[in-house]
């Protein structure tokens, strides 16, 4: 419930951002394997009790692998990325952090008519986390973020071009997406609940595209981007846990989301056979409610779970 309207969320987050000079400032790892696989990861941080700077970088690549007959399969890839964090920590209760990210990639696909020749991503976020602004507010966490993705699919840059009936010429598709959003979460200090969190989040997505069915004569780079969809979501949520005993825990949560979508596509179908979109410029909105309840109990070294989930009623043990 806490991390957006998604069926599942995997969260990797540091519990303590306070810089510790006694710990190792960073790490570097290298991996090598068959078919030219090479990976490099580095993470390095500097700082003091008042703040920190942390830089991470990754690079990985692999050549095309071979099938059982020794024939090369169109599957080579390369990806890279860097992330920079700048944090101000005047006390153990305060964090103000700016995060900047940039990454890129290209990947050849054996099962598709086009490869992913460009995966460019830029991101930025600002986060403020404060503990005990009041006696009852254990923690306040606020974040705003921005993201941009530029993607190119084509049939000529990562493979030898071969004309087909569907694509007789070198062709390319260039969608992009602009995202912005924010999130507020308050952790309430309660004598009844073990943990009680309430909050709200919002996200806005704008999607555009441009297409060239003859890249040599009509490069996609020279075409204007055409908006084809806008999605917007606002949600409020709450999640709480209650300890029945030191081995048994009850957890529950509820979430309400308001969605809006605008279909800006003027045409549907394939690039060679477009048809008029019957829902062009149509708007749609929906109010969605979801909730869950879970019981956990530990017997020896084994933890047992019983969960109820709505609107899809499910019992999991």
Alpha-carbon distances of 78 from 33, 175, 226, rounded to whole Å: 14, 20, 29
Model's pTM, two decimal places?
0.86
- Is residue 250, in this structure, part of any structural domain at all? no
Q: What domain range is 65 assigned to? A: 26-241+263-284
Q: Residue 215 pLDDT more than 70?
A: yes
Q: Does residue 65 lie within any of the structural domains? A: yes
Q: In sequence order, which residues have a C-beta less than 8 Å from that of residue 81 and are 6 or more positions away?
A: 57, 58, 59, 101, 102, 103, 104, 121
Does any domain span residue 113?
yes
Quick check: 311 pLDDT over 90? no
On whether residue 10 sits in a domain, the answer given is no
**In the prediction, which pLDDT does 312 show?**
61
Number of domains in the chain: 1
Half-sphere exposure of 106 (CA within 13 A, CB side): 13
Mean pLDDT (whole number) for 224-230: 95
Q: Residue 56 sits in a domain of what CATH number? A: 2.40.170.20
pLDDT at 307: 87
Stretch among 114-128, 173-187, 281-295 having the lowest mean pLDDT: 281-295
Who's near 87: CB < 8 A, 6+ residues apart? Answer: 17, 19, 47, 51, 52, 53, 54, 95, 96, 97, 98
Provide the Cα torsion 107, 110, 115, 118; round to 10°: -10
152 closest CA partner among 90, 221, 203: 221
Split at pLDDT 50, 70, 90, the class of 87 is very high
What is the distance between the alpha carbons of residues 95 and 308, in angstroms, rounded to a whole number? Answer: 36
What whole-number percentage of the chain has pLDDT above 90?
73
pLDDT band at 50 (very low <50, low <70, confident <90, very high): very high
Strand partners, 103: 81, 121
Q: Is residue 46 over pLDDT 60?
A: yes
What is the residue-averaged pLDDT of the chain?
A: 91
């Amino acid at each position: 419930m806490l991390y957006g309207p998604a069926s599942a969320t995997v969260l990797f987050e540091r519990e303590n951002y306070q810089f510790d000079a006694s710990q190792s400032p960073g790490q570097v790892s290298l991996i090598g394997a068959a078919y030219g696989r090479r990976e490099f990861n580095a993470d390095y941080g500097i700082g003091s009790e008042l703040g920190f700077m942390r830089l991470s970088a990754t690079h990985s690549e692999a050549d095309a692998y071979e099938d059982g007959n020794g024939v090369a399969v169109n599957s080579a890839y390369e990806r890279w990325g860097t992330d920079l964090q700048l944090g101000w920590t005047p006390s153990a209760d305060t964090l103000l952090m700016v995060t900047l990210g940039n990454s890129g990639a290209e990947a050849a696909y054996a099962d598709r008519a086009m490869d992913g020749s460009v995966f460019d991503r830029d991101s930025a976020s600002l986060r403020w986390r404060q503990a005990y602004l009041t006696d009852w507010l254990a923690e306040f966490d606020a974040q705003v973020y921005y993201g941009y993705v530029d993607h190119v699919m084509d049939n000529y840059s990562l493979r030898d071009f071969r004309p087909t009936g569907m694509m007789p010429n070198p062709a390319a598709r260039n969608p992009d997406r602009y995202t912005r959003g924010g999130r507020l979460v308050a952790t309430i200090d309660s004598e009844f609940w073990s943990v009680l969190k309430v909050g709200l989040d919002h996200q806005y997505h704008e999607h555009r595209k441009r297409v060239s069915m003859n890249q040599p004569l009509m490069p996609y780079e020279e075409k204007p981007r055409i908006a084809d969809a806008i999605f917007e979501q606002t949600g409020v949520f709450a999640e709480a846990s209650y300890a029945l005993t030191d081995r048994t825990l009850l957890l529950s949560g509820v979430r309400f989301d308001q969605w809006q979508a605008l279909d800006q596509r003027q045409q549907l179908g394939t690039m060679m056979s477009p048809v008029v979109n019957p829902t062009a410029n149509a708007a749609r909105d929906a109010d969605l409610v979801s909730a869950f309840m879970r019981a956990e109990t530990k017997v020896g070294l084994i933890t047992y779970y019983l969960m109820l989930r709505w609107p899809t009623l499910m019992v999991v043990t």
